[in-house]
Structure 1
Amino acid sequence: MNVIDFFCGCGGASKGLELAGFNISLGIDFDPNAAATYQANFPHAKFILDDVRNITVEDVVAKVPRVNEVPLLLCTCAPCQPFSNQNNKRSESDIRRSLLDETHRFILALNPEYILLENVPGMQNVNPDIEGPFCRFLSFLSSNGYYYIKFIAKSEEYGVPQKRKRLVLLASRLGVIDEPEKTHGNDGIPYVTVRDAIGMLPSIQAGQMCDSDPIHKCSNLDAINIERISLTPEGGDRRDWPSRLINEAHKGYKGHYDTYGRMSWDKPSPTLTTKCHGYSNGRFGHPDTRQNRAISAREAANLQTFPSDYIFKGALTSISKQIGNAVPCELAKNFGLAILSHFDRVQEGQE
């Protein structure tokens, strides 16, 4: 089954689907660094580097031979920032809010057997009093003969060492499709932890890069932040500091304790963001108290379940953005397996 991955970013969804057994035919994104990363990891796939609003159906068909002869999964993970609770500058005029609408014309033309959508849960709550982009998408699917299921997926329940809630939609024009079974947290199967994901990586310090892996590199810290993190135990935060080290804005303020925090070894990590390389941006401090730094790009990639040899292009800030925006590979893999299982049942006349 072929995959066309709209808003593919650096390829988290594509890699997960590839690991599930799909053929990655085409990636589409407008970010040059993400495009370079994608093409380095999917050398046999075609790529369109452009804003989706400038791309025609003919552009896509030209890149995917026999597009209507081989079963197709259309993956659409439009930018999540316009709908994220962590975006304090959300605006109704943000043009990214309407990007999901652009996929309608491709679905009509390509008639894919399956559609996979992943985004932040807040996407379905946009414009509660009027029809927002997600509501329009659901109406579009229904009016064009697609069965769909939407649900909130907890990434840790699908083998991702990270607490990350996502809105997921699976759609098929071949029949009713069910929510994929969870792989972790039930039947005694424990969640994958930070230790499982990054515990094997070489020790480095703030501002350093590992000699054997140029992606295992982390941002530098100034003197006050070195002192802060050196006084922070595993799983701790600014509540462990003396008063003189606490920012004036945080003194007497209860909440947002993840900022300047360290991760815990034996739990899934907190949700990674596009600024996961920054110690002050969340609970992104390394859990080992002998490593006084934020997590490295490779550690962030591992927590997003990218393969250990995944190639990333760009500066550290760009790589962190690519990783934070990505669909966790293991999440996409599990949803891909569910799609393939459904397709097999359809072929056997069981659906």
Structure 2
Amino acid sequence: MDVSAVDLFCGAGGLTNGLEAAGIPVEAGFDVDEDCEYAYESNNHAKFVPADLAEVARRDPAEIGDYLDEDADVTLIAGCAPCQPFSPLNHGSDSTEHAMYGMLSVFGEIVKHVQPDFVVMENVYEVRDDPVYHEFVRQLQELGYNVNRDKDKRVYCPDFDIPQKRRRWVALASKQGTLDLGEPICTDPTQYKSVEEQIGHLPPLEAGETHPDDWLHTARSLDDINVKRVSQSKPGGTWRDWDEELRLECHTKESGSTYDSVYGRMRPEDPAPTITTQFYNLGSGRFGHYDQSQNRAISLREGALIQTFPADYEFAESLEDIGISKCGQLIGNAVPPELGRVIGDRVIEFLDGKDRQEAITDY
């Protein structure tokens, strides 16, 4: 059965890469950020379309359907609308005030006018509490889609062999019954894929060094005091491991004393913390390399591998073309390709009739 898909808010192509790995052809990815084009087209078989989807939705949302193969038996629209309005990193700000708050409604408007056979919506775990998300689901149901139950939307990435403690919310909609992600791949936390398993093979680096054979394997430089801090940090430890003179002023205040993970090292035997857009910054979380002989934050390549991008995934022609900050943003904002592959595999199994479920009316 031939499937044809498009990817909305595609970014660097993580979701597209996973769907293609599962055997689902993706025709095009749409994103307003043109810096995504090189990564998207260099690693995937889909076309990158620079587009403000809010403007497309105002003009003619049905035009997204023109990119789908008209001869395909089944069509699919996938996407991760910008997560920032709903993210816990938004620090309790009113989500409705965020400039990108309306993008999930834009997603819904496109689905309404194209009406593919399947809809895949991936987002941060916190989106489940927002009215715009509930309106999105209500609209899907009014259009005749069956949406997976809330208990089946909760995704803890280590359960699916993804080596980071990332929690996501995945809504799957179908007009042919109810689709879900099925049983976790790994149910024993002691068997979760670890950060050491994922990146331990890479050559060691010093802070500020770039590996000559892979410019993405580059670690941000550190000033002297941060080198001292990370050199005294233990895997899984806290700032309390440091000498008194190295501690930050905020650590002496009650409000800052609980921020244990900042400047911390990962534990080699555990999954990594959630990869954010600032993972290359030592002070942005527990992003210190677990190896105590490497006094640095993880490299761009290490972050990409923890996100499950293929080892040869290219994000730009050179670091000078894009810069560390932008590259970190592309990596941290991406849907882990392995999660995309799990979703794609389930769609294929559903179409093959191996796991077709009855329609569910509640969500």
Give the TM-score of the pair, scaled to structure 1.
Answer: 0.92
Structure-2 separation of matches of 1:21 and 1:90: 40
Matched, 1:83 2:86: yes
Deviation at 1:255, TM superposition (A): 1.0
Structure-1 separation of matches of 2:175 and 2:186: 29
Q: Is the 8 A contact 1:174 1:346 kept in 2?
A: no
Structure-1 separation of matches of 2:116 and 2:29: 16
In the alignment, what sits opposite 2:319?
Answer: none
| CA RMSD in angstroms, aligned pairs only | 2.0
Q: Is the 8 A contact 2:118 2:173 kept in 1?
A: yes
In the alignment, what sits opposite 1:240?
Answer: 241
Q: Is the 8 A contact 2:146 2:174 kept in 1?
A: yes
* Cα distance change on mapping 1:333 and 1:65 into 2, 3 Å: closer
Sequence identity (%): 34
In the alignment, what sits opposite 2:288?
Answer: 285
The residue matched to 1:342 in structure 2 has which SS? helix
Deviation at 1:172, TM superposition (A): 0.4
Matched, 1:117 2:117: no
Identify the match of residue 108 of structure 1 among 108, 112, 134.
112
Q: What amino acid is aligned across from residue 113 of structure 2 in structure 1? A: A
Identify the match of residue 28 of structure 1 among 27, 30, 35.
30
Structure-2 separation of matches of 1:38 and 1:300: 17
Q: What amino acid is aligned across from residue 156 of structure 1 in structure 2? A: P
Structure-2 separation of matches of 1:46 and 1:70: 21
Structure-1 separation of matches of 2:93 and 2:17: 30
Structure-2 separation of matches of 1:39 and 1:209: 25
Correspondences of 1:55-74 after superposition (within 5 Å): 55=56, 56-57=60-61, 59-66=63-70, 69-74=72-77
* Cα distance change on mapping 1:61 and 1:169 into 2, 3 Å: closer
In the alignment, what sits opposite 2:267?
Answer: 264
In the alignment, what sits opposite 1:37?
Answer: 39
Q: Is the 8 A contact 1:29 1:50 kept in 2?
A: yes
Q: Is the 8 A contact 2:78 2:120 kept in 1?
A: yes
Q: Unaligned stretches of 5+ in structure 1?
A: 127-131
Matched, 1:326 2:334: yes
Q: What amino acid is aligned across from residue 233 of structure 1 in structure 2? A: K
* Cα distance change on mapping 1:240 and 1:24 into 2, 3 Å: same
* 281-290 or 172-181, larger mean C-alpha shift: 172-181
Q: Is the 8 A contact 1:46 1:63 kept in 2?
A: no
Structure-2 separation of matches of 1:13 and 1:179: 15
In the alignment, what sits opposite 2:134?
Answer: 135
The residue matched to 1:106 in structure 2 has which SS? helix
Q: Is the 8 A contact 2:179 2:356 kept in 1?
A: no
Structure-2 separation of matches of 1:47 and 1:60: 13
Q: Is the 8 A contact 2:280 2:299 kept in 1?
A: yes
Deviation at 1:349, TM superposition (A): 11
Q: Is the 8 A contact 2:195 2:272 kept in 1?
A: yes
Q: Is the 8 A contact 2:18 2:340 kept in 1?
A: yes
* Cα distance change on mapping 1:350 and 1:148 into 2, 3 Å: closer
* Cα distance change on mapping 1:63 and 1:38 into 2, 3 Å: same
Q: What amino acid is aligned across from residue 203 of structure 2 in structure 1? A: P
The residue matched to 1:72 in structure 2 has which SS? strand
Q: What amino acid is aligned across from residue 124 of structure 1 in structure 2? A: R
The residue matched to 1:265 in structure 2 has which SS? coil
Structure-1 separation of matches of 2:247 and 2:106: 46
The residue matched to 1:15 in structure 2 has which SS? helix
Deviation at 1:90, TM superposition (A): 2.9
Deviation at 1:350, TM superposition (A): 9.4
Q: Deviations over 1:37-91 (max 9, x none)?
A: 112212x31221121112233543443442x644112112011111011112733
Q: What amino acid is aligned across from residue 12 of structure 2 in structure 1? A: C
Q: What amino acid is aligned across from residue 343 of structure 1 in structure 2? A: L
In the alignment, what sits opposite 1:144?
Answer: 143
* Cα distance change on mapping 1:270 and 1:348 into 2, 3 Å: closer
In the alignment, what sits opposite 1:129?
Answer: none
Correspondences of 1:222-237 after superposition (within 5 Å): 222-237=223-238
Q: Is the 8 A contact 2:207 2:296 kept in 1?
A: yes
How many residue pairs get aligned? The number is 343
Q: What amino acid is aligned across from residue 240 of structure 1 in structure 2? A: D
Q: Deviations over 1:110-154 (max 9, x none)?
A: 22111111111111212xxxxx21011111011010001142100
* 173-182 or 202-211, larger mean C-alpha shift: 173-182
Give the TM-score of the pair, scaled to structure 2.
Answer: 0.89
Q: Unaligned stretches of 5+ in structure 2?
A: 317-321
Q: What amino acid is aligned across from residue 285 of structure 1 in structure 2? A: G
Structure-1 separation of matches of 2:196 and 2:355: 41
Structure-2 separation of matches of 1:52 and 1:245: 47
Q: Is the 8 A contact 1:146 1:171 kept in 2?
A: yes
* 140-149 or 104-113, larger mean C-alpha shift: 104-113
* Cα distance change on mapping 1:219 and 1:110 into 2, 3 Å: same
